[in-house]
Structure 1
Amino acid sequence: MHKFNDFDYLTDGEIDLILEKKLGADAAKGYVQAYIYKICLHDSKEKIGIIDMRIGHNDNTKYVGHIGYEIDEKYRGNNFAAKACRIIKEVALGYQMYKVIITCNPENIPSRKTCEKIGAKFIEILDLPPDNEIYLRGEKKKCVYEWTLNN
């Protein structure tokens, strides 16, 4: 497990990522440690979505990815997910993670477009193993994108 670095507040001047919590790793569940942020309009406490950054690699990260995001419905269509990804890459780079995985459901066209907007490369559509937690919630496949991070 890595020491948590100080990434409590990140911004691009349009949106802010404000740390909500840090989650420790749980090897039994296949979880790596993670930072969970609320996404807010700059200088506002109004939450418009969430984004998280998972640190490190294990068997589970190929299914859940390193970055997960969701934008509240009334704020969709403004590229906030792509902007938040570009901001959160600072956390990945802080851990010398130069390639990260982002996954989404194959039918989630907005998320797939977000991956394309940030320059992530489509790798494959992966079948989830039947014992995987996501599979047990009803999701059977994931699109896998790899994003090479540059400073």
Structure 2
Amino acid sequence: MEIVIEPLRYEDAEDLFNFECKNRMFFEKMVPSRGEEYYDFDTFMIKHMKLLDEQKQGLSYFYLIKKTTGEILGRMNFVDVDQSKNLGHLGYRVGQKYAGQGIAKKALGMLMEHVKENGFTKVLAKTIDHNIASQKVLERDGFKRLETSGDEFVMLGETVKFVKYAWVID
């Protein structure tokens, strides 16, 4: 499947909201919930506008993974950017319908090319210890496992920890 990654835009709001609502239960099995209020469209729009402002300021960069037809398949975030250290933090999610099809790997490869072209030399990421698929995607794209956090938290009745990763150009 041909995909593209595109910067988040104001015009994406309605499709992105529908994507998030449709995949909520799937995502909440792998990442902490965004909270009930996130799924109210007015609240979502306030948060969407804040992300666009953060992106405009160069503090974070938000991308949508799309089919070439425009359908949203997932999203990728490059956040907490520190230009002085050439550093940012990665997060991503792919919708349930497209999980396991190599979409995350393709999109991550595209994003990492963009990151390199823009002078970033270190990208940090984390996933929960139960999310083996995400760990494999990171490792296949050159991320090195740093540690499993000693801090535990309960998600969906299970005790989980974060597994931390780094991608570094020496």
Q: Tell me the TM-score normalized by structure 1.
A: 0.66
Contact 1:53–1:91 at 8 Å: present in 2 too?
Answer: no
Superposed CA deviations along residues 78-98 of structure 1, whole A, max 9, x for unmatched, are 111111111112332244211
Deviations 1:16-68 (A, max 9, x none): 1111154528xxxxxx8211111111x211001111112228xxx9xxx7111
> Is contact 2:125-2:165 (8 Å) kept?
yes
Q: Of 74, 77, 96, which residue of structure 2 is paired with 1:49?
A: 74
Q: Does 1:73 align with 2:96?
A: yes
Question: Taking structure 1 as reference, are residues 146 and 23 closer, same or farther at Cα in structure 2, changes over 3 Å only?
Answer: farther
Residue 33 in 1 paired to residue 52 in 2?
Answer: no
Q: What secondary structure, in the 3-state scheme, does the structure 2 residue paired with 1:52 have?
A: strand
TM-score, structure 2 normalization: 0.59
Please tell me the residue identity of whatever aligns with 2:4: D
Contact in 1 for aligned 2:130/2:160 (Cα 8 Å): no
The structural deviation recorded for 1:128 is 4.6
Computed over aligned residues only, the root mean square deviation of the Cα atoms, in angstroms, reads: 3.3
Q: In 1, are the aligned partners of 2:129 and 2:160 still within 8 Å (CA)?
A: no
Q: How far did 1:110 drift?
A: 0.9
Quick one: structure 1 residues 20 and 117, their matched pair in 2 at CA, closer, same or farther if it must change by over 3 Å?
A: same
Label 1:44 to 1:24 Cα distance change in 2 as closer, same or farther (>3 A): same
Matched, 1:24 2:54: yes
Q: Take 2:96 and 2:134, find their aligned partners in 1: how far apart are those partners?
A: 13
Q: CA deviation at 1:120?
A: 1.0
2:122 to 82, 89, 99: 99
Gaps of 5+ in 2: 10-51
The number of equivalent residue pairs is 121
Write the distance in 2 (CA, Å) between the matches of 1:23 and 1:52: 14
Identity %: 26
Task: Sort the Cα spacing of 1:44 and 1:149 in 2 relative to 1 into closer, same or farther, 3 A.
Answer: farther
Deviations 1:5-26 (A, max 9, x none): xxxxxxxx9211111154528x
Structure with the greater alpha carbon radius of gyration:
2
Match of 2:143 among 120, 124, 130: 120
